[in-house]
A and B are shown apart, each in its own frame.
Chain A
Amino acid sequence: MKTYDLSELAVRNLRESLLRNSLTTVGISVGVASLVAMLSLGIGLQQLVTRRLVSSGLFDTVIVTSRRDIRDFSREEEKSGPSAAESRILDETVRQQIEQLPNVMEAYPDIRFITEVRYADKPHLTMVAGLPVSARFNDAFEGMRGSFFSSETAPEVILQKSFAAKLGGKTLKPGAEEVSVAELAKPLLGKELVMRYAERVAAPAQTDASAKGNGQPAGADESLERAAYSVVSREQKLTIVGVSDLDPDSMRGAAEARVFLPLKLAESLHVVQPSDLRDNVRAFGNQRSYSTISVRVKNPKQVQSVEDAIKKMGFNTFSILDATRSLRRFFAVLDLFLGIFGSLALAVASIGIVNTLVMAILERRREIGIMKAIGASDGDVKKLFFAEAGAMGVLGGMVGVALGWAIGQVINLGTNVYLKRQALPPEHFWSVPWWLVAGAIAFAFVVSLVSGFYPAARAARLDPVQALRYE
C-alpha cells in the first residue's frame, strides 16, 4: 500500500472513533508535556547557572600567582616546577607579557589592602580593592544602584551592600529580612567618605635618611638601598557613586573586599601592599611586584590554553574551569533523572495506545477480515495499525510540546512573580531548545510505534475466515 493511502486510511480510522483516539492522544500529549517540562527545566536551570557563572566573570578569569608566594592553589605544581625561590616575580613586565598572549583580553594586577575608611566622622576598617573598568559588565553590578566609575582615575568608590549597611548604621544579620539595595543606597550616593591609607613613597636613593633609618652603614649593597622606601600616611576623599547588590569579588574568599576603587586610581595611590615588606626583605629591587594578576580571557573555552601558556611562563594559575566540569556532570545526571520522571507519564500513555489499538482490533475485527478478503496483505494491515499509532504519537507529541511549553511559561511566570515579591530580579530559567521540540515529537512517534507493535502484529495475524464469521 502506498504511503498516501496508508495515511489517508489511518486518519479516517482515527476519525471514526474520535473520542477514544482523542483521549489516547491527550494521554500522549500529557506524557510528552511532562517530559518537555522536566527537560526544559533542567536545560533552563543549566543555562541559567552557566549564564550566571559566565557573567560573574569567574569563568573567563585566570588568576596568576608567583610561585614564590606561599599562597598556592596547586600543590602539585609546586613540587614539579622550579623551586619557589627561583621562580619569576610577578611584576609589570610579566603583566604586559601576559596581556600579549593570544585570547587574553586584559591582565590587571590585584590591588587590595586593609585600611580605614571614615564616613560621618566614624572610622571603619575594611578591605579595599581596585576594580578594572571592564568589570562594569560584570554580573555583580546587575542590581547596582547609582553608577559605575566615571573614569579610570576618578576619585570615586563603589560599596558592597554589607558595607553600605554598616555605614548606614544598619546591620545585616544572616536570616533577617534582606534590606533592599535601593534603600541602602539612597542616603549614601553622592556623599563623600575619606579613606586613610599608607602610601609607599620611593625614598631618594642613598639619602642620609634612609641610611640612618635602616641603621645601615653607607655604601652598602646598592640593591638593598634601592629597595628602601618611606611609608607616609595619607588621606583621599572619595565620592560614593554606587552600591552593589552582589559581591563582585566573590572568588577571593577570605580576602573579599567591600570597598572598590577604580583600578588606575588605586594603582596611582601607591598604597603599601602586604607583600611589599616581604619583597623588601627579599630584595627584588625597586621594581614593584604584584601578589596576583587577574587575566580575563576572551572566551571561557580558551581558559585552558591561556592557563597552560601562563604556566609555561613559570607561574601558578587558577581558574574555576575545573569546578564547572563537575557542574556539567551534575546537570547531566539531573537531566537524566528529570527525563526519566518525565518519561514515566509517556510510558503510561503508551499503554493507553496499546489499549486503544487492541480495542480497535476487537471493534474492527470484521473490517480487518474484509480488507484481508479483498486482498490486503498482513503487511498492509500491520502498516495501517502502525500508521494509526504513529499518527497519534506525532499529533500527541506536537500538542504535548505546546502544552509543555505552556506549562513552562506558566511556571516561569509564577516563579518570577514570586521573585518579584521577594525583591529579586526576574530569571528566565526555562528553555525549550529546538532539538528538544524535535526530539520530543520523534520520541513520542517512536514510543507510539513501539506501542503499536503488539496490536499491529495481532491484527495482521487475524484469520480472515474467523473475522468474517464474527458478527
Chain B
Amino acid sequence: MTAGSDQSSQNGSFAVRTEDLCRHFRMGETVIRAVDGVSLRVRPGEFVALLGSSGSGKSSLLNLIAGLDRPTSGAVMVEDRNLAQLSREELAKHRLHTVGMVFQSFNLVSSMTLAENVELPMRFAEVERGKRAGLVQRALERVGLAARMTHRPSELSGGEQQRAALARALINRPKLLLADEPTGNLDSRSGAEILNFIREFNQSLGMTIILVTHERALAERYANRMLFLADGKLVDEQPDLAGASSVSLHGERP
C-alpha cells in the first residue's frame, strides 16, 4: 500500500492539490482574503498539519478541501476531481464518501444517541439497513465507546464526544480525514488521545490526514509535514522535503 502511495505521488497524483486557490469574502466595502493564492500538494497517506494564528485562513482552506465551501478562484483537486467544478449534489457526494470531518466543537447531533450519530452518514449514503448496526458497533468499539452507544452527546465528556465524532467521520470509509482543531476544546490528555486515534487511522488505514491546529507542539509530534499559513497565504513548510517525512512515515509502519 505504501509503495502504491509512493508511486502515485511520483506519477503526480495527489490526494489533495490546490492551485492558486482563493476564497474572498465581501464584508460591505472591504474584501477579506481568507484564502489568497494557496497552492499545496498532499500525497495519499500523508499526515499534514496546517498551522497558523486565528484568522490566518486555515479553517477556510479546510472547508474548501472538504467541499463545504467553494473557491472564489483557483482549483482544489481532491482525488483528481476539481471541486470548483462540481455541482452542489456532487459536492454533497464528495463530503459523504471522500472526506470525513471532525471539528473543534464536535458537532454531534445533540438529540441523537452516539449510535444514531454514527449511523447518520450511512443513512445519507443509503447503506443497507441490516448492515448498519454492525458497522456502528465496530466503529464505536474502535474508539472505545462500545459501552456508550445509547448515550446522548450531552452525557459524555468532551474527549468521548470527539471520539464519537471520529467514529462518525470514518463510517463511510473516506480516504481523507479533515480535522479542524479537534483538540481545541479538550484537555491535553484527551487531546493526545484523539490525535493518537488519528495517527492510528493514518498508519493502519492509510488515510490521508489534514489537521488544522494552532498548537505547533502537537503538529510536530504527530504530523509528517507542517504548512504555515498567514493572511490566507502559505508562508512556510517544514520539513521542506516531502521525501523526508515519507521516510519517517515508512519507518513507523508496522
Interface of A toward B, CB cutoff 8 Å: 1-2, 4-5, 9, 12-13, 16, 366-367, 369-380, 463-465, 468, 471
Q: Can you name the residue of chain B whose Cβ is closest to the Cβ of A381?
A: B92
A281 to chain B, nearest CB (A): 95
> Is B120 located at the chain interface by the 8 A CB criterion?
yes
User: B95 to A372, Cβ gap below 8 A?
Assistant: yes
- Interface locus among B7-15, B96-104, B137-145: B96-104
A2-B126, A373-B103 known; 11 new pairs, CB 8 Å cut-off, are A1-B124, A5-B123, A12-B112, A367-B109, A370-B107, A370-B109, A372-B68, A373-B66, A374-B121, A377-B88, A463-B69
Contacts of A367 in B (CB 8 A): 109-111
Contacts of B190 in A (CB 8 A): none
**A–B complex contacts, Cβ < 8 Å, 26 sampled:** A2-B126, A4-B129, A12-B111, A367-B109, A367-B111, A370-B107, A373-B66, A373-B103, A374-B96, A374-B101, A374-B120, A374-B169, A375-B92, A375-B124, A375-B172, A376-B92, A377-B88, A377-B89, A377-B92, A379-B89, A463-B69, A464-B68, A465-B63, A465-B69, A468-B68, A468-B107
Q: Can you name the residue of chain B whose Cβ is closest to the Cβ of A378?
A: B88
Contacts of B163 in A (CB 8 A): none
How many Å lie between the Cα of A376 and that of B52 in the bound state? 30
User: B111 to A378, Cβ gap below 8 A?
Assistant: no
User: A377 to B124, Cβ gap below 8 A?
Assistant: yes
A371 to chain B, nearest CB (A): 7
> Is B93 located at the chain interface by the 8 A CB criterion?
yes
How many Å lie between the Cα of A463 and that of B129 in the bound state? 29
Q: Which of B63, B93, B112, B120 has the most CB of A within 10 A?
A: B120
Known: A1-B123, A9-B123. A374 touches B88 (CB 8 A): no
Q: Which of A2, A375, A379, A464 has the most CB of B within 10 A?
A: A375
**Cβ contacts B71-103/A at 8 Å (1 or 0 each):** 000000000000000001100110111001101
Q: Can you name the residue of chain B whose Cβ is closest to the Cβ of A5?
A: B123
Q: Can you name the residue of chain B whose Cβ is closest to the Cβ of A375?
A: B96
How many Å lie between the Cα of A12 and that of B113 in the bound state? 12
User: B172 to A378, Cβ gap below 8 A?
Assistant: no
Contact of B95 among A9, A16, A366, A374 (CB under 8 A): A374
Contacts of A372 in B (CB 8 A): 68, 92, 95
**Cβ contacts B165-179/A at 8 Å (1 or 0 each):** 000110010000000
User: B125 to A375, Cβ gap below 8 A?
Assistant: yes
User: A1 to B107, Cβ gap below 8 A?
Assistant: no
Q: Which of A4, A13, A367, A369 has the most CB of B within 10 A?
A: A367
How many Å lie between the Cα of A366 and that of B108 in the bound state? 10
Contacts of B111 in A (CB 8 A): 12-13, 16, 367
B135 to chain A, nearest CB (A): 15
B94 to chain A, nearest CB (A): 8
B41 to chain A, nearest CB (A): 24
How many Å lie between the Cα of A370 and that of B125 in the bound state? 15
Within 8 A of A (CB), among B49-72: 63, 66, 68-69
How many Å lie between the Cα of A229 and that of B129 in the bound state? 99
Contacts of B103 in A (CB 8 A): 373, 468
Contacts of A16 in B (CB 8 A): 111
Q: Can you name the residue of chain A whose Cβ is closest to the Cβ of B95?
A: A375
User: A377 to B69, Cβ gap below 8 A?
Assistant: no
How many Å lie between the Cα of A463 and that of B63 in the bound state? 12
How many Å lie between the Cα of A193 and that of B124 in the bound state? 91
User: B172 to A373, Cβ gap below 8 A?
Assistant: no
A346 to chain B, nearest CB (A): 30
Interface of B toward A, CB cutoff 8 Å: 63, 66, 68-69, 88-89, 92-93, 95-97, 100-101, 103, 105, 107-112, 120-121, 123-126, 129, 168-169, 172
What does DSSP make chain A's interface, helix, strand, loop or mixed? helix
Q: Which of B93, B123, B126, B129 has the most CB of A within 10 A?
A: B123
Contacts of B69 in A (CB 8 A): 463, 465
User: A373 to B95, Cβ gap below 8 A?
Assistant: yes
User: B123 to A373, Cβ gap below 8 A?
Assistant: no
A6 to chain B, nearest CB (A): 8
Contact of B123 among A2, A369, A379, A465 (CB under 8 A): A2
Contacts of A465 in B (CB 8 A): 63, 68-69
Q: Which 6 A-B pairs have the closest CB atoms?
A: A375-B96, A377-B92, A5-B123, A375-B95, A374-B121, A370-B107
Contacts of B110 in A (CB 8 A): 367
User: A371 to B120, Cβ gap below 8 A?
Assistant: yes
Q: Which of B69, B95, B125, B169 has the most CB of A within 10 A?
A: B95
How many Å lie between the Cα of A465 and that of B112 in the bound state? 21
How many Å lie between the Cα of A4 and that of B120 in the bound state? 13
User: B93 to A375, Cβ gap below 8 A?
Assistant: yes
How many Å lie between the Cα of A369 and that of B69 in the bound state? 12
User: B68 to A373, Cβ gap below 8 A?
Assistant: yes
Q: Can you name the residue of chain B whose Cβ is closest to the Cβ of A15?
A: B111
Contacts of B124 in A (CB 8 A): 1, 371, 374-377, 380
Contacts of A377 in B (CB 8 A): 88-89, 92-93, 96, 124
How many Å lie between the Cα of A1 and that of B125 in the bound state? 7
User: B126 to A1, Cβ gap below 8 A?
Assistant: yes
Contacts of A5 in B (CB 8 A): 123, 126
Contacts of A370 in B (CB 8 A): 107-109
Contacts of A4 in B (CB 8 A): 129
How many Å lie between the Cα of A370 and that of B124 in the bound state? 12
A139 to chain B, nearest CB (A): 61
Contacts of A13 in B (CB 8 A): 111
How many Å lie between the Cα of A367 and that of B153 in the bound state? 13
How many Å lie between the Cα of A145 and that of B93 in the bound state? 81
Q: Can you name the residue of chain A whose Cβ is closest to the Cβ of B92?
A: A377
Known: A367-B109, A465-B68. A373 touches B126 (CB 8 A): no
How many Å lie between the Cα of A366 and that of B107 in the bound state? 8
User: A378 to B89, Cβ gap below 8 A?
Assistant: yes
Contacts of B93 in A (CB 8 A): 375, 377
How many Å lie between the Cα of A378 and that of B87 in the bound state? 11
A407 to chain B, nearest CB (A): 36
User: A373 to B92, Cβ gap below 8 A?
Assistant: no
Q: Can you name the residue of chain B whose Cβ is closest to the Cβ of A13?
A: B111
Contact of B101 among A1, A373, A376 (CB under 8 A): A373
Contacts of A471 in B (CB 8 A): 105
Contacts of A379 in B (CB 8 A): 89
Q: Can you name the residue of chain B whose Cβ is closest to the Cβ of A16?
A: B111
Contacts of B107 in A (CB 8 A): 366, 369-370, 373, 468
A22 to chain B, nearest CB (A): 17
How many Å lie between the Cα of A370 and that of B111 in the bound state? 13
How many Å lie between the Cα of A371 and that of B111 in the bound state? 13
